[in-house]
């Protein structure tokens, strides 16, 4: 089977997008490869297609791709997508029960599975590392590979463990990212131990996008003005969850109902998030006011306008979020609202994200006390943690405490996982004897025996259950299983804790007496953070250089042409027409 045949047979597409064929060819030739494609450029196919080709060419029909990716939500999406196409795929992440993890690994060992998705934290588990060497892995794909780099805006220390996996698995690696700054590109290849430098990239230029910065002290007024001027689907990014709602309400109170606005953030329950996302995708809602939790994995082609109400943390983040506009190639606007007053507020983000080391240590010790973990104990324990409650109970400030949890995660003391969809849990509260004397409906009876068979220990402790699997066991639907569980709970036969969205904290090591934050997780990162923020401020305050050129130069494309479409280029053209001094003084060249 050729790559093109695999593309057509499994995915139903006619031809490759730019660079996909070259990347796939490089992977099939057994080369370590770094693929730089912008968001939406089609990175997933770059590891999916060659894996299917390799498996088809293997005499035993074996071939499994280990996909390492930090985004659990996207992982689930991709697994579901592959399954829809009749390709076996599975995922392992923090929060799954041990039994579920073991089952997933067994499936990969014994079944014709093609893709195993794991979060980087899995690589810290000795058991996982031992088992992974037994699997018929033919390729390691590292998605969101900028996370492996110090210089990437989303650095995750657990990504550095991938190098260890490479030592025990002698297969090529494919790294994928949409972050193209030269330092990151260099670092990814270095960290992953590329035998030879090998980078494929397309230009990140987006010719149909108009980048604009509006300086104003009346952001609300400007927002309404722009929303009225530019018709079509719009996204408004703000940084604060509460503000998403307030702004959406403000828009709805000021504009006609045709301009319906809704809000979205990661704190909402999954069902509500899906409904809001769907309504916006179908253009029933025109405007979505959201935090940066919105947009990942959403592929709406006809977004005409992306407004940033607050300054993003970096040019990478801005480029990615603004880039959700105009996927269909038609003209679209990316507007940043900026007020002179923002500068001081924005600078405050540095200490907010990097509170003093003593404070981080204090949060750690208080957290352990709060969860009653004694010194030297707690290894491998997982707790649901309501951070706001924790802060209230321990008299801690929310913002810096939250940052401290992230820093402690980066330093390996804990794994704090913000907003994870927790599987439902069940405990059978009657004892076995009493169960036999009940007369449940036949379906309930079968459900109870399926629960007992699948989840040992269900009589003593609430066990995580997997609705799709139970539905499969019973030849029924998730909805029917769920209703039946609710009915059983009402009869006090079981205790049922439905699926919920919670934050989880896990302790990979026992409680330590003190906290040491190495330069790599603290001082160096703080500097990277401050530098990126500074570059973003310079973008906002720039009034000399073409905005597109400025960004592309930052991404290592110093030769990019003037876009002719940003506010600076347009002001420049107007000045030329009226014979005034042009605004653009010279082309932006970062070197």
Q: Where are the beta strands (DSSP E) in 151-295?
A: 173-177, 199-201, 209-215, 233-237, 261-264, 287-290
Q: What minimum distance in Å lies between the beta carbon of 263 and ligand ADP?
A: 25
Which span (41-49, 92-100, 117-125, 463-471) binds Mg ion, by CB under 5 A? 41-49
Pair of tokens at residue 189: 């290849």
Which listed residue (3, 24, 34, 37) binds ligand ADP by CB under 6 A? 37
Give dist(CA 188, CA 198) in Å, integer.
Answer: 11
Which listed residue (299, 328, 434, 576) binds ligand ADP by CB under 6 A? 299
Half-sphere exposure for 388 (CA within 13 Å, toward CB): 3
Which listed residue (26, 44, 244, 417) binds ligand ADP by CB under 6 A? 44
Which listed residue (1, 13, 163, 482) binds ligand ADP by CB under 6 A? 13
- Quote the DSSP letter at residue 412: T
Residues forming beta bridges with residue 215, ordered by sequence position = 338
- Quote the DSSP letter at residue 200: E
Do 416 and 405 form a contact (C-beta atoms < 8 A)? yes
Residue with smaller CB distance to ligand ADP, 49 or 334? 49
Residue with smaller CB distance to Mg ion, 46 or 105? 46
Which span (10-18, 357-365, 401-409, 556-564) binds ligand ADP, by CB under 6 A? 10-18
Q: Check residue 16 for interaction with ligand ADP (CB under 6 A).
A: yes
137 binds, among ligand ADP, Mg ion, none (CB under 5 to 8 A by kind): none
Site track for ligand ADP across 45-84, x = CB under 6 A:
x---------------------------------------
Q: Check residue 43 for interaction with ligand ADP (CB under 6 A).
A: yes
Residue with smaller CB distance to ligand ADP, 39 or 189? 39
Burial of 24 (0-12, 13-18, 19+ CB in 10 A): buried
Which span (39-47, 200-208, 224-232, 517-525) binds Mg ion, by CB under 5 A? 39-47
Q: What minimum distance in Å lies between the beta carbon of 201 and ligand ADP?
A: 12
Give dist(CA 68, CA 120) in Å, integer.
Answer: 6
Q: Check residue 324 for interaction with Mg ion (CB under 5 A).
A: no
Pair of tokens at residue 391: 């802060």
Instruction: Pick the closest to residue 341 from 243, 241, 222, 216 (CA basis).
Output: 216
Q: Check residue 39 for interaction with ligand ADP (CB under 6 A).
A: yes
Give dist(CA 290, CA 282) in Å, integer.
Answer: 17
Q: What minimum distance in Å lies between the beta carbon of 97 and ligand ADP?
A: 29
Q: Check residue 324 for interaction with ligand ADP (CB under 6 A).
A: no
Please enumerate in sequence order all residues whose Cβ is within 8 A of that of 155, keeping only pairs 6 or more positions apart, or say none. Answer: 147, 148, 149, 410, 525, 528
393-397: list long-range contacts, CB under 8 Å, 24+ apart: 394/366, 394/370, 396/363, 396/366
Q: Please report, in angstroms and rounded to a whole number, the separation of the first and last CA atoms in the chain.
A: 46
Instruction: Pick the closest to residue 426 from 372, 474, 327, 494 (CA basis).
Output: 494
Residue with smaller CB distance to ligand ADP, 145 or 550? 145
Q: What minimum distance in Å lies between the beta carbon of 174 and ligand ADP?
A: 12
Q: Check residue 202 for interaction with ligand ADP (CB under 6 A).
A: no
Which span (32-40, 275-283, 439-447, 494-502) binds ligand ADP, by CB under 6 A? 32-40
Which span (15-23, 205-213, 262-270, 394-402) binds ligand ADP, by CB under 6 A? 15-23
Ordered DSSP codes for 547-580: HHHHHHHHTT-TTPPP-S-SHHHHHHHHHHHTT-
Give dist(CA 276, CA 289) in Å, integer.
Answer: 11
Ordered DSSP codes for 468-498: HHHHHHTTS-HHHHHHHHHHHHHTTSEEEE-
Residue with smaller CB distance to ligand ADP, 64 or 67? 67
Q: Where are the alpha helices (DSSP H) in 169-269?
A: 182-191, 219-229, 241-254
| Residues contacting Mg ion: total by CB under 5 A | 1
Q: Check residue 10 for interaction with ligand ADP (CB under 6 A).
A: no
17 binds, among Mg ion, ligand ADP, none (CB under 5 to 8 A by kind): ligand ADP
Q: Check residue 43 for interaction with Mg ion (CB under 5 A).
A: yes
Which span (38-46, 60-68, 266-274, 361-369) binds Mg ion, by CB under 5 A? 38-46
Which listed residue (41, 323, 355, 378) binds ligand ADP by CB under 6 A? 41
* Residues at the interface with ligand ADP (CB under 6 A): 13, 16-17, 20, 37, 39-45, 299
* Residues at the interface with Mg ion (CB under 5 A): 43
């Amino acid at each position: 089977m050729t790559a093109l045949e695999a593309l057509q047979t499994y995915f139903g597409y006619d031809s490759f997008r730019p660079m996909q064929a070259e990347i796939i060819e490089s992977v099939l030739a057994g080369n370590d490869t770094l693929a730089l494609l912008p968001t939406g450029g089609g990175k997933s196919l770059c590891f999916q297609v060659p894996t299917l080709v390799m498996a088809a060419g293997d005499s035993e029909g074996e071939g499994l791709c280990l996909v390492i990716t930090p985004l659990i939500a996207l992982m689930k999406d991709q697994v579901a997508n592959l399954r829809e196409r009749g390709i076996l795929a599975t995922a392992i992440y923090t929060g799954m029960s041990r039994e579920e993890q073991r089952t997933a690994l067994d499936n990969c060992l014994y079944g014709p599975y093609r893709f195993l998705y794991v979060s980087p934290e899995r690589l810290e588990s000795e058991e996982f590392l031992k088992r992974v060497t037994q699997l018929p892995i033919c390729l390691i794909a590292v998605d969101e590979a900028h996370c492996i780099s110090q210089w990437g805006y989303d650095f995750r220390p657990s990504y550095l463990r991938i190098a260890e996996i490479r030592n025990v698995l002698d297969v090529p690696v494919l790294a994928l990212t949409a972050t193209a700054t030269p330092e990151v590109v260099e670092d990814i290849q270095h960290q992953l131990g590329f035998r030879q430098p090998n980078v494929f990239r397309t230009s990140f230029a987006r010719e149909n996008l108009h980048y604009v910065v509006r300086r104003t002290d009346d952001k609300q007024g400007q927002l309404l003005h722009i929303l009225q001027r530019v018709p079509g689907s719009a996204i408004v990014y703000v940084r604060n969850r509460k503000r998403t709602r307030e702004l959406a309400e403000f828009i709805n109170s000021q504009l006609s109902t045709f301009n319906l606005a809704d809000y979205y953030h990661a704190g909402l329950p999954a069902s509500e998030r899906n409904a809001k996302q769907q309504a916006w995708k179908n253009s029933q809602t025109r405007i979505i006011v959201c935090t940066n939790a919105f947009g990942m994995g959403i592929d709406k082609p006809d977004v005409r306008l992306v407004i940033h109400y607050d300054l993003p943390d970096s040019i990478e983040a801005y480029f990615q979020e603004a880039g959700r506009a105009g996927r269909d190639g038609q003209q679209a606007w990316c507007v940043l609202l900026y007020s002179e007053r923002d500068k001081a507020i924005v600078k405050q983000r540095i200490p907010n994200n990097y509170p003093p080391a003593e404070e981080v240590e204090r949060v750690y010790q208080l957290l352990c006390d709060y969860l009653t973990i004694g010194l030297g104990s707690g290894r491998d324990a997982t707790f649901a943690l309501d951070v706001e409650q924790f802060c209230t109970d321990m008299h801690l400030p929310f913002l810096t405490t939250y940052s401290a949890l992230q820093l402690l995660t980066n330093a390996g003391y804990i794994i704090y996982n913000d907003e994870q969809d927790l599987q439902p849990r069940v405990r059978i509260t009657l004892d076995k004897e009493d169960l036999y004397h009940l007369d449940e409906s036949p379906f309930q009876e079968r459900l109870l025996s399926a629960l007992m068979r699948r989840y040992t220990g269900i009589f003593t402790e609430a066990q995580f259950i997997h609705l799709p699997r139970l539905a499969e066991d019973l030849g029924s639907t998730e909805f029917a299983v769920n209703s039946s569980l609710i009915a059983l709970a009402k009869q006090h036969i079981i205790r049922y804790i439905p699926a919920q969205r919670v934050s989880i904290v896990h302790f990979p090591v026992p409680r330590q007496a003190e906290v040491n934050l190495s330069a790599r997780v603290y001082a160096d990162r703080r500097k990277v953070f401050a530098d990126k923020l500074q570059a973003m401020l310079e973008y906002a305050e720039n009034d000399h250089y073409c905005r597109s050129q400025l960004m592309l130069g930052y991404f290592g494309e110093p030769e990019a042409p003037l876009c002719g479409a940003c506010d600076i280029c347009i002001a420049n053209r107007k000045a030329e027409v009226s014979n005034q001094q042009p605004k653009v003084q010279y082309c932006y060249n970062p070197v």
